[in-house]
Chains A and B, each alone.
Chain A
Amino acid sequence: MREEKTAFIRLAKRTDMDPRKVWMIRVGSIVVALLLGFVPMLLTGTNPIEAYGVIISGSLSRPVYIRQTVRTAIPLLGCALAIAPCFKMRFWNIGAEGQITMGAMAATYFALYWVGKVPSPVLLVIMFLAAAIMGGLWALIPAFFKAKWNTNETLFTLMMNYIAIGIVAWLQGGPWEGRKGSQLIPMFDDAARLPEVLGVNCGWIMVLVLTVLMYFYMNKTKHGYEIAVIGDSVNTARYAGMNVGWIIMRTMFISGAISGVVGFIFVSGANHTLYSGVADGVGFTAITVAWLSQLNSFAMIVISFVLAVLEKGSNTLQTRLSVPASIADIITGILLFCMLSCEFFINYRLIFRRKTKEEVAS
């Protein structure tokens, strides 16, 4: 055996960092991420400063653009709120996409077949409730198996996405098809459309209300506390007498219900019809939003808006400088990498090897 030297860098846990410093590190990591975003642009011969300029101006320079950006941010925020409790519980729900789709499907059913039978506000309320219940039930399926047999929820929820999308694709070309052969579900009647407030569908009010509600739910209620305990340690929760399976199912139902409502906002507020790609990747991007904001409801408002700017701006970037719009995904990915990495410097202290042996021994 050879004598091991003390490692050049050692690590130690720390818990006592100044909160201001913590946020400085986080903001710093976002800046680093944006700078790293220069790399793909430089490699493809685009001026990064100009590109970021186009992203900003393409999403914020005119009221029309701002409205479009807000429209993009609404479902992101709503869905991030849905995902937050699951992730807090360390339940990896990546099935928001499917829960949105199923919620949208339930809302569409009533929009198509109950229109004219009930007054518009009643219809909208029914659609809202149907979407929430359907989204919740869809999320309950993987939660049930997780609670009962500890089935891998990551893959289960993911597979449920494809199943939900497949079902809507079938409805689109089959039973709910409008004109035969069109492969399209007819546009909603005006009675089934969400009214607009300030030029954007009133979904934005709903998600802002939800933000406040979610903040209180997670931080001020017994349910929120139980979720946090399970996230830290399932065994602690069990010893404390919590019914872990029940809490998992309840939380997933709430999460799915919120995603379902996002689906309702999609069909009733934005698209006015249903198609299989209705969720449009929001379920995945929302994971980014939730994690970047450290599962803090109010930070989610900012982050979802930033990502909406990125997404809307990248589309402009594609048309103006012919940089592929997928640059938004790359930058989002880099943002996440940097945020994940910076937690290391918040949680651990690096100790460098000192010069003399005596000092190491002491």
Chain B
Amino acid sequence: MSTLIALIVAAVTFGTVLMYGTLGEILTEKSGNLNLGVEGIMYMGGAFGLAGAFYYEKAAGAAASGPVAIVIAILCAIAAGMAASAIYSFITITLRANQNVTGLALSIFGTGIGQFVGEYMRVSEGGYVALGNGLKDAFNATVFPQALINIPVLGRILFSHTVFFYLAIVLAIVMHLFLKRTRWGLYLTAVGESPSTADAAGINVTKYKYLATVIGGGISAIGGMVYIMTTAGCVWNHEGLAGVGWLAVALVIFCMWRPLNAIWGSVIFGAMMIMYLRVLIPFIPTELYKILPYIVTVIVLIITSMRNSRDKQPPASLGLNYFREER
């Protein structure tokens, strides 16, 4: 039982990272933009989030407070992600370049920037860049009182996570309500489904595409920061972050473009990512065990493409640029 609880807790920790990446990309794709640069965006979020918290700690010294550091890290990550997706938006929306290639370029560019910043900090600070123990604890602390965590079984599963997990849940619910219950959300959906119809109805397509893509990028970037601050232990670790952004893109399909599905979807994927460390299956070598999430993703891709139900489709204009003069 305790193994299972530990597995669930670890799955949620990793799932939180994926959840931000996925939620951001859902918002982006709702506008019809397929941003394949999530990998790069998450790298940048991770590197700049760490840089923000690190230099804040350096400036504030012993007086550094945990909540302030968390807010700074989140803001730095969001800013980096928004900057990255602003480049993407400008090239695809205004200059109408191919979305796939632009996304790939952003992946290369963003991983380069993330690596560069991480490495540069290491070199300029003379070796090891890590947060002090005080801040490390702040990033990994839970928000609920110990009494709740001590509730047998449920306590640890529900209340022992970091603040980032609960923020992500709130974000998913807010996004769900935004998309389903507000005028702007419906407009955004319309833009993603049929930009020319939306345009004819007087919706400013360009504005919606820009806003959704840029804000989505900001949300995705938080995921990279959360990975560095929780799983990686507040140290720049590019190897662990490699591939996470791509999994987030795959998760969007798995979640059928619905924010609420992202909650359990990312926890399941989080579980698959860390299961080889916790649950040993005899006769299956670790290395083959590690590819499980990718095999599951492939199977999910195949199954979703095979069953052609109408409400489980991507936004109809996904990946296509809109050019008003072209009919």
Determine whether B246 belongs to the interface, using a CB cutoff of 8 Å to chain A: yes
A155 to B250, CA, bound (A): 6
Most chain A CB atoms below 10 A, which of B104, B106, B113: B104
Given known A328-B112, A344-B97, contact A170–B301 (CB-CB < 8 A): no
Determine whether B119 belongs to the interface, using a CB cutoff of 8 Å to chain A: yes
A143 to B109, CA, bound (A): 28
Determine whether A173 belongs to the interface, using a CB cutoff of 8 Å to chain B: yes
Contact with B along A320-334 (1 / 0, CB 8 A): 001010111111111
Contact with A along B189-209 (1 / 0, CB 8 A): 000000000000000000000
A45 to B97, CA, bound (A): 33
Which of A53-61, A158-166, A184-192 has 4 or more CB atoms under 8 Å from chain B?
A: A158-166
Are A340 and B91 in contact (CB-based, < 8 A)?
Answer: yes
Given known A145-B305, A324-B123, contact A173–B96 (CB-CB < 8 A): no
Are B112 and A327 in contact (CB-based, < 8 A)?
Answer: yes
Are A92 and B285 in contact (CB-based, < 8 A)?
Answer: no
Which range contains the number of B residues in contact with the other chain?
35 or more
A336 to B101, CA, bound (A): 9
Given known A159-B297, A284-B104, A344-B97, contact A167–B112 (CB-CB < 8 A): no
Are B105 and A340 in contact (CB-based, < 8 A)?
Answer: yes
* B:79-101 near A, CB below 8 Å: 87, 91, 95-98, 100-101
A94 to B100, CA, bound (A): 10
Contact of A163 among B98, B105, B294 (CB under 8 A): B294
Determine whether B249 belongs to the interface, using a CB cutoff of 8 Å to chain A: yes
A229 to B109, CA, bound (A): 31
Are A154 and B120 in contact (CB-based, < 8 A)?
Answer: no
Contact of B285 among A162, A170, A327, A340 (CB under 8 A): A170
Most chain B CB atoms below 10 A, which of A11, A44, A333: A333
Determine whether A337 belongs to the interface, using a CB cutoff of 8 Å to chain B: yes
Given known A163-B294, A330-B116, contact A287–B101 (CB-CB < 8 A): yes
Given known A11-B325, A44-B120, A329-B108, contact A324–B115 (CB-CB < 8 A): yes
A272 to B280, CA, bound (A): 34
Are A169 and B287 in contact (CB-based, < 8 A)?
Answer: yes
Which range contains the number of A residues in contact with the other chain?
35 or more
Are B112 and A337 in contact (CB-based, < 8 A)?
Answer: no
* A:142-200 near B, CB below 8 Å: 145, 149-152, 154-156, 158-160, 162-163, 166-167, 169-170, 172-174
- Interfacial chain B residues near A328, Cβ < 8 Å: 112
Contact of B108 among A169, A284, A344, A347 (CB under 8 A): A284
- Residue in chain B with minimal CB distance to A171: B287
The residues of B with any CB-CB pair to A shorter than 8 Å are 36, 40, 87, 91, 95-98, 100-102, 104-113, 115-116, 119-120, 123-124, 243, 246, 249-250, 253, 285, 287-288, 290-291, 294-295, 297-298, 301-302, 305-306, 325-326
Instruction: Give the 10 A-B CB pairs with smallest separation, nearest first.
Output: A333-B109, A329-B112, A166-B291, A324-B119, A326-B115, A336-B105, A170-B287, A340-B97, A330-B112, A344-B95
A333-B108, A340-B97, A340-B102 known; 11 new pairs, CB 8 Å cut-off, are A155-B301, A156-B302, A162-B243, A166-B291, A169-B290, A288-B104, A288-B108, A326-B119, A332-B112, A333-B105, A336-B102
